[in-house]
Amino acid sequence: MAENYSDTKRPNFLFIVTDQHRADHLGCYGHPVVKTPNIDSIAARGRRFDKFYVACAICQPNRSTMMTGRMPSLHGVRHNGVPLDLRQNTFVDLMRLQGYRTALIGKSHLMNMTPLEPRYGRPEPAAGKAPVPEGFEHAVPVDHDSEIYDQEHPKNWLEGSDFEVTLPFYGFDHVDLQTGHADQVSGDYTRWLETKYPNSNDLKGPENSLPHDYSAAQAWRTAIPEELYPSSYITEKSLDYLDNHVASNADDPFFMMMSYPDPHHPFTPPGKYWDMYKPEDMPVPDSFFSNTQPPPNVAWAHQRRDDGNQVTSGQGLFAAASEQEVREVMALTCGMITMIDDSIGQVLGKLEDLGIADNTVIVFTSDHGDLLGDHQLILKGPIHYDGLIRVPFIWADTPDRLKQGVTAAVSGTLDLARTFLDRADLEPYYGIQGRSLLPEIGGAEDQGPGCALIEQEDQRDYFGLAAPIRLRTFVTNRYRMTMYHGHDWGEIYDLQEDPSEINNLWDNPSYVGLKADLMEQLARQQMALTDFGPLPTKQA
């Protein structure tokens, strides 16, 4: 074993993020089938949060909140398709400026990573009105048309390209980038794969898949072998980074973010992970079999399935064709999760081998969940069931500050930035939101507001509504309430008595008082999360 590498009291950080990974799909969170011994070992020696919620239930907005410590309505990434403005400070920026070496290995998705045109834009000028002059199109000018925001665009990694992201990249001074999902990941991974397997496009996609008997939408048995799959790229690059950091005899600690594109759909676990789990062993949620009348949004999805009009090939949620389809995507998701767990195990072993494990804080979470059969739905969208909005969060501190156990403190993505900065003994920038979770990590009772606010907008046309769809969800220790802009219907569920969220209390006359109370709490939380910046320069 190498000599202990800890010539500073400032800790290192290993921040592990998965993609579209609901909380209940880990062994330490009670899943009866999936095997995640390495992630479970982090939870066993640290603090596991049972009520950790996203700020938005889709990738770009929640990842932007993760990085800035600010709600989507403040940092401006309200839905996928809006890049995080480079003028926004991130907590990683601050850590880098304060002496941390910073690395991103894997998925960023802080910029747009597809060439697809937006689904809506600025309205056409009204008849007889002069169009807005250039530069005045927006109330607050943005420069998102600049090429600097194209750094995650797939055009950059076409054959023969030598493109490199501009550093620092949202605070990261080392980047091994992945974009996309499953076996169709691009970015720096594309070149790595090509050096190991020339003409590597012949391995990707359903057209090159190996024979299989699964019928689920977006499920194919990838021809990419385990050792060349995107999760293995993250393993190799992470091990290399740690080796190089120690070999450099650097006095500075590191902040390394390992960000996996899995278990996000398409469902393409490679090699042994494809059939590691059997569909018949997967526990289908109780809500799948519910005969209770669903709210209008869920009923719309069911109707599109029954009419044969739903789209199952894209990013939007859809209703499962059958119980078997749900079981298949669950089994394949579990295979992808176990592959991630095996990767994490290798990195944990490297920390031990290098003698830096005792000075490294290990944190695990995900950017959002997946409906995975809840109410017969799959993937994600503006329907905020627990499987979509609640994600795992595990914090394993250094041995001198380690506190084991589980906390029911209501918390979420909004709290991450301030918690990292607090643990690094760094004063945050003005305007950061959320709170430090170090008290709960240290074993204290819930110190927070006891609630979480989730903001979401969507470009897609759901429920027969015109985009952008706008909704707000408010979660307390016991209840979840969701309201849809422009509509008088909504959702209220008693999570204690009805954890499967089957009985909607919104129109129940016995709960009028509860609805009013929750609405008041929501209004107060929105006031609390109003931007307090910029600071005044004078009294008047």
Query: Domain with 343 in it: what CATH number?
Result: 3.40.720.10
pLDDT band at 69 (very low <50, low <70, confident <90, very high): very high
Q: What confidence score (pLDDT) does residue 213 get?
A: 96
Does residue 467 lie within any of the structural domains? no
User: CB of 76 within 8 A of CB of 68?
Assistant: no
Q: Please give the backbone phi and psi of residue 59, each rounded to the nearest 5 degrees, phi first.
A: -60, -70
Does residue 139 lie within any of the structural domains? no
Q: What confidence score (pLDDT) does residue 1 get?
A: 36
Q: How do residues 190-213 score in pLDDT, each as one tens digit?
A: 999 999 999 999 999 999 999 999
User: CB of 133 within 8 A of CB of 261?
Assistant: no
Cα distance between residue 203 and residue 225, in whole Å = 9
Q: What confidence score (pLDDT) does residue 120 get?
A: 80
Q: What confidence score (pLDDT) does residue 282 get?
A: 98
Domain count, the chain: 1
Q: Is residue 244 helix, strand or coil?
A: helix
Cα distance between residue 470 and residue 364, in whole Å = 29
Q: Does pLDDT of 512 surpass 90?
A: yes
Average pLDDT for residues 125-135, to the nearest whole number?
88
Mean pLDDT, the chain, rounded, equals: 95
* Percentage, residues of the chain above pLDDT 70: 99
Q: How do residues 466-506 score in pLDDT, each as one tens digit?
A: 778 999 999 999 999 999 998 899 999 999 999 999 999 99
Does residue 373 lie within any of the structural domains? yes
Average pLDDT for residues 45-54, to the nearest whole number?
98
Does residue 404 lie within any of the structural domains? yes
Does residue 278 lie within any of the structural domains? yes
Higher local confidence (pLDDT), 370 or 533 = 370
Q: Please give the backbone phi and psi of residue 197, each rounded to the nearest 5 degrees, phi first.
A: -150, 90
Does residue 313 lie within any of the structural domains? yes
**Domain span holding position 188:** 12-118+147-453
Q: What confidence score (pLDDT) does residue 2 get?
A: 39
Does residue 519 lie within any of the structural domains? no
pLDDT band at 249 (very low <50, low <70, confident <90, very high): confident
Span between the terminal Cα atoms of the chain, in Å: 63
Does residue 492 lie within any of the structural domains? no
Q: What confidence score (pLDDT) does residue 4 get?
A: 42
Cα distance between residue 346 and residue 186, in whole Å = 23
